[in-house]
Structure 1
């Protein structure tokens, strides 16, 4: 028997965060994937949001190489639908979400944590921000939250006992 949602406040916390991730995947990752140019300011709110982020925190994002467009494409077309399913599963206590959550968290840590952070800190200097603190402030939550979800999903039947 699963615990009621009121006794799983951590799941409400995750549901709120992954709802926000759904929105950021739609706004941030869809545009570079489909090739929208945000290398200069625009009258479009979404283009300006990406320009502001890329200009101030992530030059690699402003002129993404093909491999980066694959990473943003995964976020826009794979992770975003997963977030919707994850939020539903968290709020309704569906234990079947455990394995997909582990797979998702592993992918995020590998692609974002290793590849994107590796380029920022060890890759081509042309793609470095010059402001690692700003880069981390924007991007670290996208790695830490999946890692926390991994910890949350570590036990069999995660919704049957308190965290």
Structure 2
């Protein structure tokens, strides 16, 4: 039995969408998650664009992010040092139609949903009062795509040979 050929990228529009989104996630992992992981202080406005971007986000939407406890620095460290390199590999696999990305994509999506969707969202909405977001709409606008897109990716990767058929 022969394996069916993968569809060309132009016939896999959802994979183009994923490639663009995960390329953007690569950039946001560097800007947002690397700074708290390495202990950069962004509790005050700064002339540095990256520090100020994190200050603006944390001040307006995410107090937990502004003063991250150790466990949160582990979560941001995963994003900066594990997810970010994975995003590069994922974008390559999506664009070139590499079916071997299926299992790593499922593992990644499961981790994101668990760590971000359950743990971080749980603390932001139901945790200690000093960590709860005061602006749930802004918090969700910034963070929901980081959970929803991996869930859709999980649905995309649910069947063997995902690039041989349209989503």
Equivalents in 2 of 1:129, 1:140: separation in Å?
Answer: 14
Shift of 1:147: 0.2
Aligned pairs for 1:9-88 (under 5 A) are 9-88=13-92
Note if contact 2:125-2:133 (Cα within 8 Å) is conserved in structure 1: no
Give distance in 2, aligned partners of 1:14 and 1:87.
Answer: 8
Farther off after superposition, 21-30 or 122-131: 122-131
1:142 matched to 2:146? The reply is yes
Matched, 1:96 2:115: no
Deviations 1:49-87 (A, max 9, x none): 000000000000000000000000000000000000000
TM-score normalised according to structure 1 size: 0.99
Aligned length: 163
Gaps of 5+ in 1: none
* TM-score relative to the length of structure 2: 0.97
Secondary structure, aligned partner of 2:68: coil
- Any idea what SS the aligned residue of 1:159 has? helix
Give the ranges of 4+ consecutive aligned residues of structure 1 lying more than 4 Å apart after TM superposition: none
CA contact (8 A) 2:125 2:132 kept: yes
Q: CA deviation at 1:146?
A: 0.2
SS at the partner of 1:155? Answer: coil
